[in-house]
Structure 1
Amino acid sequence: MEIITATEAHLPALAEMAVALWPETSYAGELAAARDILADPYQDQLIALAGEAAIGFVQLSLRTDYVEGATSLPVAYIEGVYVSPAWRGRGVGRALVQHAEIWGREKGCTEIASDTEWTNRDSIAFHGAAGFREVKRVVCFVKSIDRPTGGHSRPEEDAPPD
């Protein structure tokens, strides 16, 4: 097994694995995203190969904004990590994280971070085994807000006069 920086030739395999990791996405969307990452100096994709076969990947970004639990900036951030089911439990994921750490150090980072859904027990266990510590669990909320229909645009315009 070897881990290398992905190239244009790896894009189809990266897109296939990304859809396996994020099934709510599409192959075309992930192919475009992988292509965009190749062109972005603040992102990278490392791919694990067994011979010519792609068996895993890690998507990385260099974050310069707030990262939960981090004490320094920039932070190397694992946006996604995936290992093909047949290769799980064989050190591929750990090797991808180690290469991600090297990438981060080369970018001047002293910390690497990641996230997962709080219900993803496999990912939480993987991160713990790879040396990450959990810093926070978050529940996010969103609410639709309709545009005003009565011509008023601010709450104070609806308030009665003093």
Structure 2
Amino acid sequence: MGKIIEVSHEKLKDLTNLALELYSGNIYEGLYRELEQMLNEKKHQFLLYMEEEQPVAFIHLSIRSDYVEGSDSSPTGYLEGIFVKQAYRRQGISTELFNCGKKWLKEQGCTQIGSDMEIDNQDSYPFHMSLGFKEAGRLITFIRDLS
């Protein structure tokens, strides 16, 4: 049985290594600095799941005061990211992380939590549904260079 800890600056390297597996297009140094900056802000919460002193999963929650699709309250909690190493999946770790993070969001005055996913992420949709999320809408984003 593992344990959940709040990420401190001492665990930032562990968080960055796990986050690189989720956000694979990033460079370590840049992601480390970005996570470090967020760690210093009170509107972000990072939790690590430790198995025998090794980090195997994390969750990143935030508090958003801008509009969150489908919400009717503000501030709204937001599930920014969650990741469990392949060998530890389907053991309830993500649910444990979510439930622990939910407590923090309630302490911050949030009554709802939002999230999003990439359309081709086959694991994310059933995960969200298993936690009780309801689909609030579908969004396709576009970008075009102005040149």
| TM bucket, shorter chain | over 0.9
State the 4+ residue runs in structure 1 displaced beyond 6 angstroms.
none
Separation in structure 2 between the aligned mates of residue 34 and residue 22 of structure 1, nearest angstrom: 12
TM-score, scaled relative to structure 2 = 0.95
Separation in structure 1 between the aligned mates of residue 46 and residue 105 of structure 2, nearest angstrom: 12
1:37-58 deviation line (CA, Å, top 9, x unaligned): 2211111211111121001111
Separation in structure 1 between the aligned mates of residue 81 and residue 104 of structure 2, nearest angstrom: 15
- Counterpart amino acid of residue 114 in structure 2: A
TM-score, scaled relative to structure 1 = 0.87
SS at match of 1:59: strand
How much has 1:30 moved relative to structure 2? 1.6
- Further displaced range: 91-100 or 25-34: 25-34
Separation in structure 1 between the aligned mates of residue 126 and residue 140 of structure 2, nearest angstrom: 19
1:103-153 deviation line (CA, Å, top 9, x unaligned): 11010000011111111110111111111111111110111113xxxxxxx
Stretches of structure 1 that go unaligned for 5 or more consecutive residues are 147-162
Pick the structure with greater CA Rg. Answer: 1
Which position in structure 2 is the counterpart of 1:110?
111
Stretches of structure 2 that go unaligned for 5 or more consecutive residues are none
Which position in structure 1 is the counterpart of 2:55?
54
Separation in structure 1 between the aligned mates of residue 146 and residue 34 of structure 2, nearest angstrom: 30
Structure 1 vs Structure 2 CA RMSD: 1.0
Matched, 1:45 2:49: no
Q: Within 5 Å, which residues of 2 pair with 1:1-162?
A: 1-146=2-147
Separation in structure 2 between the aligned mates of residue 71 and residue 3 of structure 1, nearest angstrom: 30
1:21-72 deviation line (CA, Å, top 9, x unaligned): 0111111122112211221111121111112100111111110000001111
- Counterpart amino acid of residue 5 in structure 2: I
Percent pairwise identity: 34
1:50-106 deviation line (CA, Å, top 9, x unaligned): 121001111111100000011111011111100111110001001111112111101
- Counterpart amino acid of residue 33 in structure 2: A
Higher relative contact order (CA 8 A, sep 6+): 2
